[in-house]
Amino acid sequence: MIEPTPALITQFLERLGQQFENPASFYIFGGSALILMGGPRNTGDVDFTFAAASERADEFRVAVRAVATEMGLDVEESQPAEFMPLPSGLEERHRFLGRYGQVNAYIFDLYSVALMKIDRAFPTDIEDVHFLLRAGLIELKALEQKLAEIIGRHDEKLKLQRNFAEMVKDL
């Protein structure tokens, strides 16, 4: 498998739009979202979730896998809400990347991405959150507000609060 780059991800989306000829929305998150936003570190895969008509969902997955295999990309479907509770209003914060055929591509809400990374708290995850903050792609005060919103629904409240405090301390 090859490491995704912005050009390769764009090429993937173009091919996906050719392969899948029905309306769908493709949301990129994780390290590949940061790469698309100018982040400095590499990642091994493209994490995604999607929305398509329920009768077309399996067909969309087949198209994603076919294009990924053709291009030698590792793509991983998952649901961000399964990792942790997500803040309200995220639908309005997705960043539109472009329309590829009938497929609209987005970068998943960067505040949700940051919270997922703080929750996991690998050193590279904290570096990613620092990048988002320093680049002005998210704001610390707004991130703290979103953390406060979800903390009551989180399974490991103290761990998340501690990870956030450590992340802030290292800014």
- For 38-50, the pLDDT digits (tens) are 998 888 899 999 9
Write down the mean pLDDT value for the chain: 95
3-state secondary structure of 39: coil
3-state secondary structure of 79: coil
The mean pLDDT value for 103-107 works out to 98
Contact predicate 52/24, CB 8 Å: yes
- Give the sheet arrangement for strand 95-100, strand by strand: 75-77, 46-52, 24-29, 103-107, 95-100
Q: Are strands 46-52 and 24-29 parallel, antiparallel or unpaired?
A: antiparallel
Asked if residue 113 has pLDDT above 90, the reply is yes
pLDDT of residue 44: 86
Q: Strand (E) positions, the chain?
A: 24-29, 46-52, 75-77, 95-100, 103-107
* Interatomic CA distance for residues 116 and 160, integer angstroms: 10
User: 119-162, pLDDT tens digit by residue?
Assistant: 999 999 999 999 999 999 999 999 999 999 999 988 899 999 99
The mean pLDDT value for 7-33 works out to 96
Percent of the chain exceeding pLDDT 90 equals: 89
Contact predicate 46/75, CB 8 Å: yes
How far from 25 is each of 13, 52, 70, 79, 154, CA to CA, in Å? 11, 6, 21, 14, 27
The mean pLDDT value for 25-52 works out to 93
Q: Strand (E) positions, 87-164?
A: 95-100, 103-107
Please tell me the pTM assigned to this model.
0.94
